[in-house]
Amino acid sequence: MNRRIVFAIAKKDIREASQNKSVWLPIMIVPIIFILLMPLGILLAANNADALASMSADPDLIRMMEKIPTFLSDLTAGLNESQSMIVLMLGYFYAPFFLILPIMYSTVIAAESFAGERERKTIEALLYTPASDAELFLGKVLAGAIPAVAITWISFVGYCVILNAGAYSIMDKIWFPLTTWYPLIFWVSPALSLLGIAATVLISSKTQTFMGAYQTSASLVVLVLALVVGQATGILYLSVTTGLLVGLVFWLIDIVLVWLAIRSFNREKLLASEK
C-alpha cells in the first residue's frame, strides 16, 4: 500500500470539504451550542438560588442521585449544592453529550467523500486513478478522521477553559477535567469517529447527494444517546474502567467494519452506477 497516495487522497478531500458550506457550517455552530451556550446555562443556574432549589427538588433528579455509585459520591464530598451541581452536571453527566461531536464531525466530512464527488461530477476521474481500492477507501477514511479527531480535541480544550473560568468563582480552584473524561476523549471519541467515517463512506458511495449521505449516517448518533440514557437511568455509569471497555468495544467494531468495507468496496460497481 502506497501511503503517499492515501495521504494525497485525504488531503484533496479535506481541502474540498473545507470549501463546502454544508460541511463547515455545522462544524462551527455545534461547538457553540455544546461548548459555550449549554454549559453557561448550567453555570448560571448553579449561581441562581431559585433555579438551584427547583432542580434540587426535582423527583427524577432525586431518584438519580440516590442511585449514584461510590466514586460519584466521592467527587462531591465536602462540596456545597452549587459546587456539587456543577461537578455532576458539567463534569460527569454531560460527558456523553460531548461524544456527539466526533460522530457529527466524522459523518459530515465523510459524507462529502463520494456523494460530494458525485455532485461535483469528479468521481469518475477519481475512480480512474491508479490508486488501489484499499488506498482509495483508506484515503477517504483518513480525510474524515484527521479533522474530526483534531476538532474534537480542540473543542475539549475549549470546554476545559470555559468550565474552569466560568466556575472559578464557585469552585475556587481549577477543577476540570475529571479523570473519567480522559478515556472518553482520547480513546472512545477516535473510535466513534472511525466508526462514523467507515459507515458513512460506504453509505455515501451508494448515495447520490451529500445531504442524503449525511442524513442517513446521522442515525449513528443513537449510539451516543444510548450512553446518555444509560447514565440518566442508572443502567450505565461512565467510570474510567467503563470508558476503556466501551472504547474497546467500538474499536473492535471498527476493525470488523473497516475490513468488511474494504472487501466490499468495488470501483467497477461505482463506475457502472455513474453510467
Read off the pLDDT of residues 240-257 as tens digits, 9 standing for 90 and up: 888 899 899 999 988 888
Q: What is the pLDDT of residue 260?
A: 77
Say whether pLDDT at 169 is over 60. yes
Question: Is the bond preceding residue 96 a cis peptide, omega within 30 degrees?
Answer: no
275 has a pLDDT exceeding 60: no
Report residue 113: phi and psi, to 5°.
-60, -85
Whole-number pLDDT of residue 8: 84
| pLDDT value, residue 97 | 80
pTM as predicted: 0.81
Please tell me whether residue 69 adopts helix, strand or coil conformation: coil
Lowest mean pLDDT among 73-82, 92-101, 183-192: 73-82
Q: Is the dihedral of CA 99, 105, 111, 114 positive or negative?
A: negative
Query: Do residues 193 and 103 touch, judged by C-beta distance below 8 A?
Result: yes
The mean pLDDT value for 48-71 works out to: 65
Mean pLDDT of the chain: 77
**pLDDT digit string, tens, across residues 87-108:** 888 888 888 888 888 887 777 7
Domain that holds residue 13: 3-274
Non-local CB neighbours of 73 within 8 Å, separated by 6+ positions: none
Q: What is the pLDDT of residue 106?
A: 79
Cell of 130: 491508479
DSSP assignment of 142-159 equals HHHHHHHHHHHHHHHHHH
Query: Who wins on pLDDT, 249 or 220?
Result: 249
- The angle formed by the CA atoms of residues 71, 73 and 79, to the nearest 5 degrees, is 130
Could you tell me if 85 and 7 are in contact, meaning their C-beta atoms sit under 8 angstroms apart? Answer: no
- Which of the two residues, 272 and 249, has the higher pLDDT score? 249
Please give the Cα distance from 236 to 184 (Å, whole number). Answer: 14
pLDDT for position 164: 93
- Asked if residues 237 and 173 have their Cβ atoms less than 8 Å apart, the reply is no
The most confident of the ranges 21-25, 58-62, 200-204, 268-272 is: 21-25
CA 55 to chain centre: 28
Domain count, the chain: 1
Q: Is the model's pLDDT at 198 over the cut of 70? A: yes
